[in-house]
Structure 1
Amino acid sequence: MSQPVDGGVARVVVDLVRGQRASGHRVSVACPPGGRLAAEAAAAGARVLDWPAERSPGPGTAGEVWRLRRLLRTAPPDVVHLHSAKAGLAGRLAVRGSVPTVFQPHAWSFAAVEGRMAAATLRWERYATRWARTVLCVSEQERRDGEAAGLEADWRVVPNGVDLRHFAPADAAARRAARMALGLDQSAPLAVCVGRLCRQKGQDVLLSAWPGVAARVPGARLALVGGGPDALALAERVRRLPEPSRVRLAGDVPDPRPWLAAADLVVLPSRWEGMALAPLEAMAAGRPVLLTDVPGARECLPPGRAAAGLVPVEDPAALAERLAEALADRIECERLGAAARSYMSDHHDIRAVVRRVDALYRTLVRAALVPRGRESRVPQRF
């Protein structure tokens, strides 16, 4: 079950579906219509179950829970895997532990809000962990944050991965071809930000930092690749920049690989994450990344890269300084990109992720078949 249906979470779900189908599993995906998830999951071999649901909780949540219960009756599963906060809310209320349930937050909901809403969300998460047999985190920091918040769970950590065959390294020829196809200057230093245009991803902070970068690196260009609720507001901010022509709003694209190939550096100034997928895809394509120090960021970088590859959250001045330094040395960007690709091959291959999630599922199914009180005898191989 998943809501959202776009962005990194949707890509994670599709990658899992593809791997699970290759292993012979029957897979159903319950998700809202629209977006990319339904079509791509179906193409990967899943049975897609129509589950209309809003992205955020609201008056319609009770109806969403009821619809999920109906879907579960029509397609009884052996394991339920809930992706992200909204599916985690509705799914845990619908299942209530009656089927072995994995909840994968992809970043904690209480980190996304403030004040009373944050307190209420935290209370819910503390209560609802009883309905998840396992909470699956994408980074050790995400797990530590959950524990620090008082959540009690059977924790597992499986870092995100990418299809290394799909995101192949882009050499100089690929960069030239991509820039020609995208109408970009061949010689201009280019930073690319791939992500949903929303508060979480911090493109507003990047635009605040950009005048400082443009002043230090003549000719530098920035591209924001993605769509989302903040698209109009960000477009207005771009129009108010001293040189708006140096920033391009590319909109939502079906495939980010041409933009990754064109980039010298990929930047993602998120306010919160679990472990963002876009930087992993960039590194798989042989591009260095500059990230904010949010959960998952340190863990996805090659050893020794944290000092140069991370900046504080919501710090435009620090972001501008580090981004300008990187774009001013394109040869170093090439070297770091090659090292990033090598690291990805060893640590973030989607095939390893699928194997570990598959092992978790099998453990949960075996445990469900053991009489109550004898669970400790079930071998834990995950």
Structure 2
Amino acid sequence: MHLSATDPPPRVLHLTQPVDGGVARVVTDLARAQLAAGLQVTVGCPHSALSAELGALGAKVRAWSATRTPGPTLVREVRLLSRLIEDVRPDLVHAHSAKAGLAGRLALRGRIPTVFQPHAWSFEAVGGGMAALALNWERRAARWAARVVCVSEAERLTGVRAGIQGRYTVIPNGIDPERFHPAAVGTVRAGLLPDVDPAAPLVVCVGRLCRQKGQDLLLRAWTTVVERVPGARLVLVGEGPDGGPLRARAPKSVLFTGAVTDAAPWYQAADLVVLPSRWEGMALAPLEAMACGRPVVVTDVDGARESLPLPLAPHCLVPPRDPARLAAAVVELLRDPLLRESLGHQGRRHVLSTHDVRHTAEAVAGVYRDLLAHPVPSEYRESIHS
């Protein structure tokens, strides 16, 4: 990714908050690829397991104390970030998700090339007056991003229709096919769930336990599923703010793993993987599940159709916020093992050809090359003091 044979390697600063889930995996995958390409990679993020993992890869990690959502600490967080940026002196900043995108663009205001990657738009995560404020911010802040990277065409269209006039590039999410691959279901399941009947139909949902991921909708659908498929078990993999309420309402056929360091074995153990999200940019969990050869059921939110091969949509895509349709799709697939096997094979072929993380990293490198080779347009520049 060098601009020429004599140029020093660019200094890239990634900013991220949150530090878990899909955003953390994207940052980790990009940092790994960019370090291998010879870039000087620094990541600014709160102290966490992510910062330890990035440090082990060889990235420089700078502690940035920031909450996950905007609040009264924002002014201090922007001030801290401004000092961090002055110290690192990056050639390019890549801000991930709403909070880092907010603080990063306020601190930089277009002074150097800034890539903003929403990983799902901030105004989709809130309602009422907060949604209006978030949308107004995204419209105003677009001028401070030299490029807005969306993980799906649907996510880009959501931004355009909302009046966000950014300079867009669509780069689909990718997964590591060496990490996510098929395995013998019986062997993996016996190691994870030794007390569960190995013949029990097993549904797995991987994701942060929160409103976005829709596990509450899945629990509403699950009542119908177990009525029609007796003995079925559901495993919710992950942790989050909704963990307590979900555990309180879950029947005995639902198991909770808490946070896990590696979700791959859970995909490999599943008969079916479900992600009933209320909104996304392009979720990683369905891609990871398909790479493991497992069929999926996902809600028709941004990025979902683009992540599926066309023949899978009639069986695997359901309307969001519709537990009845979700239950019907899950029941259909649990009752038809041959269909599950066929969909699993098709999904894996699709992911390997379209969503390999190496393709994603190279596409991001292309954006960096373009931005570093050309001055930031004047309309995207603004003094930090303006």
User: Paired residue for 2:225?
Assistant: 213
- Aligned counterpart in structure 2 of residue 117 of structure 1, from 118, 130, 136: 130
User: Paired residue for 1:18?
Assistant: 32
Greater relative CO (CA pairs within 8 A, separation 6+): 2
After the TM superposition, list the runs of 4 or more consecutive aligned residues in structure 1 that deviate by more than 3 angstroms: none
Matches of 1:185 and 1:252 in 2, distance apart? 23
User: Paired residue for 1:241?
Assistant: none
Matched, 1:200 2:222: no
In 1, are the aligned partners of 2:135 and 2:162 still within 8 Å (CA)? yes
User: Paired residue for 1:94?
Assistant: 107
Change (3 A) 1:21 1:61: same
User: Paired residue for 2:254?
Assistant: 247
1:166-181 to structure 2, matched below 5 A, reads 166-170=179-183, 174-181=184-191
- Aligned counterpart in structure 2 of residue 48 of structure 1, from 58, 61, 66: 61
Given the two structures, how large is their TM-score scaled by the length of structure 2? 0.92
Identical positions, percent: 57
TM-superposed CA distance for 1:332, in Å, is: 1.7
Matches of 1:165 and 1:55 in 2, distance apart? 31
Structure 2 letter corresponding to 1:235? R
Matches of 2:337 and 2:90 in 1, distance apart? 51
Size of the aligned set, in residue pairs, is: 363
Change (3 A) 1:228 1:179: same
- Aligned counterpart in structure 2 of residue 149 of structure 1, from 144, 155, 162: 162
Aligned CA-pair RMSD: 1.2
TM-superposed CA distance for 1:372, in Å, is: 6.9
1:182-201 to structure 2, matched below 5 A, reads 182=192, 183=194, 184-201=196-213
User: Paired residue for 1:304?
Assistant: 311
Structure 1 letter corresponding to 2:131? A
1:268-307 to structure 2, matched below 5 A, reads 268-307=275-314
Give the secondary structure class of the aligned counterpart of 2:374. helix
Matches of 1:218 and 1:195 in 2, distance apart? 25
Structure 2 letter corresponding to 1:11? R
Matches of 2:81 and 2:281 in 1, distance apart? 25
User: Paired residue for 2:8?
Assistant: none
Matches of 1:277 and 1:372 in 2, distance apart? 36
User: Paired residue for 2:246?
Assistant: 234
Matches of 1:111 and 1:177 in 2, distance apart? 40
TM-superposed CA distance for 1:176, in Å, is: 1.1
In 2, are the aligned partners of 1:138 and 1:296 still within 8 Å (CA)? yes
Deviations 1:332-368 (A, max 9, x none): 2122111111111100000010101001101100112
Unaligned runs of 5+ in 2: 1-14, 380-386
Structure 1 letter corresponding to 2:244? L
Matches of 1:245 and 1:44 in 2, distance apart? 41
Deviations 1:210-234 (A, max 9, x none): 0100011111110000000011010
